[in-house]
Structure 1
Amino acid sequence: MTRTFVRFACLALFWAAPAWAEPPPSPQLAAGHPLAGKVWEPATGKWRSPRDVIDAAQGAGIVMLGETHDNPDHHALQAWVVRELAAAGRRPVLALEMVDTDRQGVIDGNIGDPAGLGAALDWEKRGWPDWTLYRPIVEAALAARGEVKAANLPQDLTRRIAKGEQGADVDGRFGLDQPLAPADEKALAADIREGHCNLLPEQAVAPMVRVQRARDAAMAEVLADQASRPEAGPAVLIAGSGHVRADRGVPVRLGAMVPGIPMLTIGFLEVESAKTKPAAYGESFGTRTPPFDLIWFTGRAQRDDQCAMMEKHMQKKAKP
């Protein structure tokens, strides 16, 4: 029996083991909704188990975990996925939408202190929810001898793209030199308007479409770089669900950059009282069914009226 055969025989036995390293975390948010806590596969219309989620993640080269940023159950489940990958002998490389790529040095310089990393990154000052929600995800990757990577556009480049001053090199790098299909352009513009409560001046929409495309491409670039490393992986993206949707955004850009690499998109979606059929959640994304490989339904976080807050902020900015 060759050494290679022994290795794969051992892997087969390991993957066949049904036991969890740990069960999925109990929800923190009360839901009282028939979908809460369930996992659905849109492509087949079938319910899946948490074990199916981990099996799919173990078979992927890139795993994208889409969240609502202030939902604690989403972050608890993301950390659990990373811990289960580690328990399977993987070394996840964690890519964070929340950190601009020009701040990678801050991560590297403070990676030995996960508790203090958020402060070093000015996490909450930059508008992200409490670092304690994200810290377990980072700790799970580090415990597996994995790595943590910044994945978002630097702020100065974001401003240049918004102003249309990015230049041909940036256009080529992020695919901005290639126009979107008209239907995709229209859909992305509609998402941006709705995401800003239909309060944006119309002249701001096209620049924000460019920025969104560039952000997706920047995250895809980081993931593609990490996916090329055989000693590490899978690459795991933590990002808002709009970036992770399988029909556009990061997955589509990645498909062009790393053809054939197995990808898995998981959308952690908050339940809505009026929606008890899983396919109905595609409406929020402008699609027949939600555009993810797997959907994990969770309770809904309590939050202030974001549109009222945005309207108040914009009125304040408009005052002379």
Structure 2
Amino acid sequence: MRARSSLGAVVLSAALLISLSAQAAVASEQTDCLAPGNWARVDGATPQLVAPTGLLIAMGQRDVVLLGEQHDDMDHHRWQLHTLAALHAQRPHMVIGFEMFPRRAQAVLDRWVAGELGEAEFLSLSEWDEVWSMPAELYLPLFHFARLHRIPMLALNVDASVTRGIAERGRAAMDASELEGVGRPAEPAPDYMAFLREVHGHHAAARDEDKLEAESERAFRNFVDSQLNWDRAMAEALLDGRRRHAAPDGSLPLAVGILGSGHVRFGYGVAHQLRDLGEYSIGQLLPVPAGVPCASLPSGLADAVFAVDSERTAPPPPPRLGVWLEEVEGGVRLREVRSGSLAERSGLKAADVVLEVAGRPARTSRQLVTAVREQPSGTWLPLVVQRDGRRIDVVIRFPPEG
């Protein structure tokens, strides 16, 4: 299945990774200081190798620490887990915010941390497959860490419909009730605008759009508004989570944010909005590809970076139909079918309602997602769909492994 999260999260994170990977590729004649496992501070005039102990002690004294990631890199999530553990050893009074969950999932996160839900039930009730595009296996160690230590988890995001609505219509055209209470974001720094313009250009090229200049500029401004609202929502949720989980003596917990690197780099995103809200005690840490020469790391990229082997170690992606789903009476409706997807190649069409999966009634999106994800390579999955008032048999033929 294809989740409804905005493409912006992936592109924002990927832009930084691609840039740093390219620098590493041309560094053969330079001295690399970032061997795997090394930390370097990049908050001064020149990058400096640094011992992790002192760095993490300093980060543990901040009010908010942001940990970036490339969403599909398992080693980035392992690094986040180890860094969380080091921070938690100093500041056990902690909350952890996750970009991956919309605010409406907060009650489910609370139940998970309290030990009331099993893993499968937690993923189902939080609608993981509908709201995020990455395998849950990448994040489950982080979720279990929070549960094991009873650390409150914060749902930082807004519903994807909010981000999509702003990108399509502009923030000014959105009714206050559609914004989920997010305040007006601070205006972006000029360099952030330049970065977002580059990202938006990639989006437009991917869609092969041919717009008039005025329309293109309006689309870019809406895109900027959507990203700023995204940053603002997460900043507000982090500060609100600190206040909600204050200790009886009034002391506030350390808030750690698990975010895409695009929301962290140079302090343009969430940190910029935090400062506008009056929070200045912020730490920002990023993983970067090992082998990047220290001289090529731009000043101010973060407080510090950690070198991770560039080989991707994410688990193989599960099978996906390439559809957007919504539950309707009697089944699961295909809201959209992606061009070239397995669903399209199998004969499924937008507006089809899946009535049965492998002979069983299709009652929830999760049921259909699970059936697809668990289907072995090279096998067939029979569906019964309703189309224009008729029942139609459709067989999904999964390609052989490799």
Taking structure 2 as the reference length, the TM-score comes to: 0.58
Q: Contact 1:63/1:235 (CA < 8 Å) preserved in 2? A: yes
1:197 CA displacement: 8.3
Q: 1:227 aligns with which of 239, 242, 261?
A: 242
* Post-superposition offset of 1:226: 2.5
1:290 CA drift (Å): 5.8
Q: Which residue of 2 aligns with 1:218?
A: 233
Q: Which structure shows the bigger proportion of residues in helix conformation?
A: 1
Secondary structure of the residue aligned to 2:49 is strand
Question: Using the alignment, how far apart are the partners of 1:123 and 1:268 within structure 2?
Answer: 24
How far apart are 1:64 and its partner, in Å? 0.3
- 1:116-155 residue pairs with structure 2 within 5 A? 116=120, 117-155=122-160
Q: Is the counterpart of residue 175 in structure 1 residue 184 in structure 2?
A: yes
Match of 1:156 among 161, 174, 177: 161
Q: How much has 1:250 moved relative to structure 2? A: 0.2
1:193 aligns with 2:195: no
2:304 matches 1:294: yes
Paired letter, 1:219: M
Letter paired with 1:263: I
Note the C-alpha offset of 1:85. Answer: 2.6
Q: Tell me the amino acid that sits aligned with residue 302 of structure 2.
A: F
User: 2:69 aligns to what?
Assistant: 67
- For the residue of structure 1 that corresponds to 2:68, the secondary structure is strand
Structure number with bigger Rg: 2
Report the AA paired with residue 247 of structure 1: G
- Aligned-pair distance for 1:179? 4.7
Query: How much has 1:223 moved relative to structure 2?
Result: 1.0
SS at match of 1:217: helix
Structure 1 residues 107 and 209: alpha-carbon distance in aligned structure 2, compared to 1, 3 A threshold: same
- Give distance in 2, aligned partners of 1:141 and 1:57: 19
Q: Does 1:241 align with 2:261?
A: yes
Deviation at 1:84, TM superposition (A): 2.2
Instruction: Specify the alignment match of 1:115 in structure 2.
Output: 119
Residues 1:171 and 1:152: Cα distance change in structure 2 (over 3 Å): closer
> C-alpha distance in 1, partners of 2:294/2:118?
37
Residue 224 of structure 1 deviates from its aligned partner by: 1.5
Q: CA deviation at 1:294?
A: 0.7
TM-score (norm 1): 0.72
Residue pair 2:110, 2:152 contacting (<8 A) in 1 also: no
- Specify the SS of the correspondent of 1:67: coil
Which of 260, 280, 290 in structure 1 is aligned with 2:296?
Answer: 280
Gaps of 5+ in 1: 1-32, 282-287, 305-309
CA distance in 2 between partners of 1:223 and 1:139 (Å) = 20
| Larger RCO (CA within 8 A; separation ≥ 6) | 1
Q: Distance in 2 between matches of 1:259 and 1:233?
A: 14
Aligned pair 1:166/2:174, yes or no?
yes
Instruction: Confirm or deny: 8 A CA contact 1:42 1:279 kept in the other structure.
Output: no
Matches within 5 A, 1:252-267: 252-260=272-280, 262-267=281-286
Check whether the contact 1:158–1:211 (CA below 8 A) recurs between aligned residues: yes
1:187 and 1:215, CA in 2 relative to 1: closer, same or farther beyond 3 A?
Answer: same
